[in-house]
Structure 1
């Protein structure tokens, strides 16, 4: 049975406990990591989180798409999309 995803508040509390710090410090650390990842990926780079995976930006070419409601086909401009490749270590830990 699927459980609800961990909220930021729950993540900060768990991080604070793991670090042995207060929640304010853990929240600042989490915000700093998120800001660094956003800055790097939006600039076209990639970030590898050891044991978790790699977050990167990929360009999608211009392509033809179809509106499922009307069946009308139209050209969609090229754009960028954020992708994540999951590390083998995380996949293996989930499947144990």
Structure 2
């Protein structure tokens, strides 16, 4: 069974149904939340969502790697990445609903 991804539109529909706002306003709410999250992460700050988890920006050091297509050794440059750590409650719910 293939797992399905939740789309931005589906999130807007959920906001529409839960809050009773128009589809357009619900889409704007979802877009605003994601834009705020993106700007916060780009600024190097963490985002803590209670009972869900924490998004943090991590620095990755440069390292040696290999081009999978050619097998050639190369250096992977340093970069930043977003890391997610789920909350204890979310982990418990995930592991109890097997």
Q: Tell me if both proteins adopt one fold, taking TM over 0.5 as the criterion.
A: yes
The runs of 4+ residues in structure 1 deviating greater than 2 Å are: 68-71
2-side partners of 1:82 and 1:35: how far apart? 15
2-side partners of 1:29 and 1:8: how far apart? 11
Any gaps of 5 or more consecutive residues in structure 1? none
Any gaps of 5 or more consecutive residues in structure 2? none
Residues 1:3 and 2:20 are matched in the alignment: no
Q: Which moved more, 1:66-75 or 1:32-41?
A: 66-75
> 1:82 offset after TM fit, Å?
1.2
Residues 1:14 and 2:14 are matched in the alignment: yes
What TM-score, normalized by structure 1, do the two folds share?
Answer: 0.87
Q: Please tell me the root mean square deviation across aligned C-alpha atoms, in Å.
A: 1.5
- The CA deviation string for residues 11-47 of structure 1, in whole angstroms up to 9 with x for no partner, is 1111111122222222111111101110010111111
What TM-score, normalized by structure 2, do the two folds share?
Answer: 0.85
